[in-house]
Amino acid sequence: MATGPTLRTFPSLALDALRHPYWTAEYLRGGGLPKLEIWTAYAPPGSSASQVAAYYVEHWNNAQTWRDLDRIRNLWKDTFVVKGLVHADDAARAIAAGADAVTISNHGGNKLDCMQGALDSLAQVRASVGRDARLFFDGGIRRGSDLIVAKALGADFCFTGRATIYGVTAGGLRGAQRAIEILQSDLAYTMAMIGCRSVPDITRDYVSPTQP
Ligand SMILES: Cc1cc2nc3c(=O)[nH]c(=O)nc-3n(C[C@H](O)[C@H](O)[C@H](O)COP(=O)(O)O)c2cc1C
């Protein structure tokens, strides 16, 4: 049984690169494998992209607790957003600990794809944190209707990851901008179809009561 991601072999990658010369030239022109920029400053000087990635993994703290959250909140005087919570109690606790906002997210399911979906708990989270707490949301936003459903279930703001990444792979920065334009026009079209004039007017009533 496969237990991890399958890695492509170098010959198949090399063949792919040769078959897509424009893409390969652009990739090399951009400096090749992207570095984890926010970690580059801390890794040993001159580290390659894979050395920076290894440094990041080595220093990854996988045992953060609510005490750490309190400590960071005390040290960090600026806006503080906690990302990656899906359980209502956790979100309420983060807000009570002083977070300015919580991003309801399971990181796109990229670590555990059978994990509870962020959308599944969104309405419950909103009920738990109250109307005034700021809730951000991400996970699976691909169409205008996804934005509407997230707003209806309690999100104040949505992020999108893969929709824009797909745009980048197709057309670089312009591709990401195009992905956002598609989302915007699809949102406007769907708003017209459901007869809703503005985003603040999107309420829970637009979503079936049988939704989570
Ligand atoms: C390739 C990739 C790498 C990601 N790396 C991180 C990460 O390092 N930290 C993090 O909090 N989320 C990470 N995410 C999750 C995104 O921040 C975001 O939560 C997710 O992509 C949203 O779901 P969507 O892609 O369906 O829009 C990553 C997502 C992707 C696709």
Q: What would the pLDDT profile of 142-164 be if each residue is shown by its tens digit?
A: 999 999 999 999 999 999 999 99
- 87 carries an active-site annotation: no
Mean pLDDT over residues 178-198, rounded?
Answer: 97
Q: What pTM does this model have?
A: 0.84
Ligand 1 near 109 CB (within 6 A): no
At the second CATH level, the architecture of 66-206 is Alpha-Beta Barrel (3.20)
Task: For residue 115, name the pLDDT band (cuts at 50, 70, 90).
Answer: confident
Tell whether ligand 1 has an atom less than 6 A from the beta carbon of residue 142: no
Phi, psi of 34 (to 5 degrees): -65, 145
- pLDDT, residue 172, reads 86
What spacing in Å lies between the alpha carbon of 42 and ligand 1's midpoint?
22
Indicate whether residue 106 lines ligand 1 (CB < 6 A).
no
Q: Which residue out of 20, 59, 87, 107 is catalytically annotated?
A: 107
Q: How far is the CA of 159 from the centre of ligand 1 (A)?
A: 10
Ligand 1 atom with minimal separation from the 83 CA: 11
Atom 5, ligand 1: which residue's CA is nearest?
A: 107
Average confidence score pLDDT of the chain: 91
pLDDT surpasses 70 at 3: no
Residue ranges of the domains in the chain? 35-63, 66-206
Give 8's pLDDT tier (boundaries 50, 70, 90).
Answer: low
Alpha helix positions (H), the chain:
10-19, 21-29, 37-40, 49-58, 66-75, 88-96, 118-129, 144-152, 162-194
**Residue 202 near residue 188, CB atoms below 8 Å:** no
Q: With a 6 A CB cut-off, is 90 part of the ligand 1 pocket?
A: no
CA distances from 189 to 146, 162, 183, 184, 186 (A): 13, 22, 10, 9, 5
Q: How many CA atoms within 13 Å lie on the side-chain side of 86? A: 14
What is the residue with the minimal CA distance to atom 18 of ligand 1?
Answer: 107
- What is the edge-to-edge ordering of all strands in the sheet holding 157-158? 81-85, 101-104, 134-137, 157-158
